[in-house]
Structure 1
């Protein structure tokens, strides 16, 4: 059974799928999570605090998924190609994660602002961590690479950057136009094709078997 905090975060994420963050009401979230409004404010302090916690949880869940994928047995190049595919699919399905990875936050999403300077620290440890603010895209890429074995961390960073290029500029659907693809909703985004995956795997095979170097 989820804790009150997790239930509230789940309710916030579910609400965000149907309305912009500005239209999400704290009272509705408390009711959906079956907790009191006082419990909600005890956990997060404010709606801004809830937003920070929601964004932080998305980042943590992403890195947890990365660690699980990288721990799977198999050749590093294939593992990293699978990681790239997973990042593209997950970013398409989760707008908050997509914004975290790309830095492109729109008006429908919670604003990723850290707590104001001088504010009293939150009583809940998890909230104190969230109040520090979300990782920047570059920090999240670095954290992803740090999850890999040191011998192929550079290849891992390359896999992430290839995946993000696909997230930012997905391919034009067959019969579509460049303008239409640029404005396409996530549900219409094309996953990476087997041909693209094979190219990535070939590049990463070279990266993960050559002497380690620092990417510029």
Structure 2
């Protein structure tokens, strides 16, 4: 079955969309560059020209999905008004809720149990690019507020927030609301201590 391109969609975006759809339906282990090419209606060489190999495709797929999550973070900070703790709370809540609803993320996590997966490590043990990108977006959001933190304190705080949210996206221990409330409480306590 050939998946028709969406209006204005470039080849890379199209291949990522098709790869995500296939991963959700069949699991990452079933994806090959040849099957992706067939499903997208392009040559296998076109897929290799865009991504090079399957691990690079995996990295691109994770980073593309990350942009969806980080869009929620940016929106929360833009709506945050003059309350940085509320913005942090709302950003965490939006990401945690999306994590529960996101079918690709759910497949990555569920598909990794008892199987060799190239995707889950990109969220955890090999997630440096993901973490760096997420921390930069959160840092940019926090810097929009006049906070009594030096850069070292800000970097530590953002690192803790991002890693905590990611941990709860992958393995929730409570509802998104409970977790976001806890993150906001910690952020508020840290800001009060810094004053």
Answer yes or no: is the 8 Å Cα contact 1:80–1:201 preserved in 2. Answer: yes
RMSD over aligned Cα atoms: 3.8
Match in the other structure for 2:3? none
What does residue range 169-188 of structure 1 map to in structure 2 within 5 Å? 169-171=171-173
What TM-score comes out, normalization by structure 2 length?
0.65
Q: Distance in 1 between matches of 2:60 and 2:179?
A: 35
Residue 73 of structure 2 contacts residue 92 of structure 2 at CA under 8 Å; is this kept in 1? no
Q: Which residue does the alignment assign to 2:175?
A: 191
Q: Distance in 1 between matches of 2:170 and 2:45?
A: 40
Name the residue aligned to 2:75.
68
Measured in 1, the distance between the counterparts of 2:182 and 2:52 equals: 48
Partner of 1:35, secondary structure, is coil
Answer yes or no: is 1:89 the counterpart of 2:97.
yes
Does the aligned pair in 1 maintain the 2:70–2:134 contact within 8 Å?
no
Q: Distance in 2 between matches of 1:140 and 1:21?
A: 23
C-alpha separation in 1, matches of 2:103 and 2:87: 25
User: What corresponds to 2:5 in structure 1?
Assistant: none
For residue 50 of structure 2, what is the aligned residue in structure 1?
43
Note the C-alpha offset of 1:73: 3.5
Alignment TM-score, normalising by the size of structure 1: 0.60
| CA deviations over 1:31-83 (Å, ceiling 9, x no partner) | 33232322212111222332222123233443343233222242211111111
CA contact (8 A) 1:81 1:200 kept: yes
Higher relative CO (CA 8 A, sep ≥ 6), structure 1 or 2? 1
Shift in CA distance, 36/58, structure 1 to aligned 2, threshold 3 Å: same
Equivalences, count = 173
Structure 1: 5+ residue stretches without partners: 115-132, 172-189
Aligned counterparts of 2:128 and 2:185: Cα–Cα separation in 1: 30
Q: Note the C-alpha offset of 1:157.
A: 4.5
Point out the structure with the larger helix share: 2
| CA shift for structure 1 position 18 | 1.6
Matched, 1:148 2:147: no
Distance 2:42 2:134 in 1: 36
